[in-house]
Structure 1
Amino acid sequence: MFRHLVGLLFLLLPTSALAGECVVLLHGLARTDVSLAVMEHVLEREGYHVVSNDYPSTDLPIEPLLAYVGNAVAECDGERFHFVTHSMGGILVRGWLRDRHPKELGRTVMLAPPNHGSEVTDDYGDLAIYEYLNGPAGMQLGTDADSMPNRLPKADFELGIIAGDRTVNPILSTSFNGPNDGKVSVKSTRLDGMTDHLVVHATHTFIMNNPVVIAQTLTFLREGRFDHDMTLTEAITAIFPQ
């Protein structure tokens, strides 16, 4: 229902053609493709061929999940392709690109990625309820040196990262000593080799629906950088052009 309502809204908006380019969307841990529905429809309105599929984020460890990245890329049918990811989706991209660098690869935007793990996993990973909710992949997202994010290489591709610094969860926020989005610290989102980094006032859960985040994602996909002076009014205008 939500996806259809969003689609109807954006059908009323003008489009700008961008033929021959694809965007692969990868949702986060314990989420579905619906969480990226707004982003998907904005990108489609901009003319991108968008691939947004579910993957069983809580059923498998990270390594087997990498196959779902390759399956999604295959749906781009040889077009130049970009990635836009939320949370653990960024770790899947890093894992998939570890052993390959396709010539069709364009740019990547990661939203709230735990590039060095999450202190929440450190503090609560021993609880049975944590593993039940987050599965084996969630257990791999700690901050120790042997965690999956910390064993992956630095970025050797065009990468823009957007971090949030707002939280509505006072319990989980006690796991952090600095700015965080309730699940991931701003510091952990950074990655050596990244092209650009931006911090916005958004929470981990809803960062992908923030107007500034959506507009900045479009900017990075087009220009390979963020507009660090963008205002909320400018972002809304970019998403809802007259």
Structure 2
Amino acid sequence: MKTLRAAFACLLLLFPSLASATCTILLHGLGRSEGSMEKLADRLEEAGFQTINVDYPSTVYPIEALAGKAIAPALDQCAGNDAVHFVTHSMGGILVRQYLSRVTVPNLGRVVMLGPPNKGSEVVDTLRDVPGFHAILGDAGLQLGTEEESVPNRLGPANFEVGIIAGTRSVNPVLSQIIPANDDGKVSVESTRLKGMSDHLEMPVTHVFMMQSDEVIAQVIHFLRFGRFQRPAPPRT
């Protein structure tokens, strides 16, 4: 697959007219790497989207610093495109909200967030004082609680086109006991919701692996193309 992507990149250099007019930036979640988004990046490339799969040190800096470090260089790589989309997993969505709260992206396209803790996570509330939590997840991890002054809750509603996918399955029953109502093992369905969002979809996937689900990837592509998720047509009466 990497060979095919490299060949496609060479074709774009030789024949610039083949290049897409859009650029899609992928942002992984807390404690993960660009490898967790590689399958999604490959599928987006196959669907005709130019992608920038960003790797950033998610546990080294607070969210305010991470947003600029991750997004600004990626936007530079997208220069010349008519529109820039974002596809994020977990905390990656909070980085986009943080960045867009400070910086206007004139050619901003659509945003898809997978399992974003838009209202924080009760897991952080419960475990933040456990020895080793900060050492493992850093300052950014501590900023993802549900308190009113947490970063997600201070950022306000979306003023951009965003579709959100929430998972409803968990592989961690211990953490799910901490989270109220339906959850994906890390974030409740309710916490993924964001005022001003364009669409919201619940899917039977887990937080850890949702970005690798074929069904989720298909929905991501559909939203980027049409601004809404795909749902079965209502039965004819």
1:7 matched to 2:8? The reply is no
Q: CA deviation at 1:102?
A: 1.7
Structure 2 distance, partners of 1:201, 1:187, is: 15
For residue 69 of structure 1, what is the aligned residue in structure 2?
Answer: 71
Q: Could you tell me whether the CA contact under 8 Å between 1:10 and 1:42 is conserved in 2? A: no
Structure 2 distance, partners of 1:163, 1:31, is: 18
Q: CA deviation at 1:18?
A: 6.8
For residue 229 of structure 2, what is the aligned residue in structure 1?
Answer: 226
> What is the letter of the counterpart of residue 74 of structure 1?
D
Gaps (5+ residues) in structure 2?
7-17
Question: Over the residues paired in the alignment, what is the CA RMSD in angstroms?
Answer: 1.8
Q: Could you tell me whether the CA contact under 8 Å between 1:122 and 1:142 is conserved in 2? A: yes
Q: CA deviation at 1:55?
A: 0.4
Q: Aligned pairs, how many?
A: 221
Q: Could you tell me whether the CA contact under 8 Å between 1:198 and 1:228 is conserved in 2? A: no
Q: CA deviation at 1:10?
A: 8.0
Q: CA deviation at 1:134?
A: 0.8
Q: CA deviation at 1:48?
A: 1.5
1:160 matched to 2:163? The reply is yes
For residue 147 of structure 2, what is the aligned residue in structure 1?
Answer: 144
Q: Deviations for 1:91-120, whole angstroms, at most 9, x for unmatched residues?
A: 000000002332210000000000000000
Describe the SS at the equivalent of 1:227: coil
Structure 2 distance, partners of 1:161, 1:102, is: 20
Q: Deviations for 1:120-178, whole angstroms, at most 9, x for unmatched residues?
A: 00010111222122111000000000100000021010000000010011111111120
Percent same amino acid at aligned positions?
49
Describe the SS at the equivalent of 1:83: strand
For residue 51 of structure 2, what is the aligned residue in structure 1?
Answer: 50
Gaps (5+ residues) in structure 1?
1-5, 12-16, 231-242
Q: Deviations for 1:186-208, whole angstroms, at most 9, x for unmatched residues?
A: 00000000000000000000000
Structure 1 distance, partners of 2:172, 2:227, is: 33
Pairing partner for 1:169 from 164, 172, 184: 172
Structure 2 distance, partners of 1:184, 1:158, is: 22
1:60 matched to 2:55? The reply is no
For residue 122 of structure 2, what is the aligned residue in structure 1?
Answer: 119
Within 5 A, what are the aligned runs for 1:68-217?
68-79=70-81, 80-217=83-220
For residue 23 of structure 2, what is the aligned residue in structure 1?
Answer: 22
Describe the SS at the equivalent of 1:171: helix
Q: CA deviation at 1:216?
A: 0.3
Describe the SS at the equivalent of 1:50: strand
Structure 2 distance, partners of 1:175, 1:150, is: 19
For residue 9 of structure 2, what is the aligned residue in structure 1?
Answer: none
Q: CA deviation at 1:9?
A: 8.3
Structure 2 distance, partners of 1:134, 1:84, is: 22
Describe the SS at the equivalent of 1:141: coil
Structure 1 distance, partners of 2:99, 2:188, is: 23
Question: Normalising by the residue count of structure 2, what TM-score does the alignment of the two structures yield?
Answer: 0.89
- Greater CA deviation, 136-145 or 48-57? 48-57
> What is the letter of the counterpart of residue 217 of structure 1?
V
> What is the letter of the counterpart of residue 7 of structure 1?
K
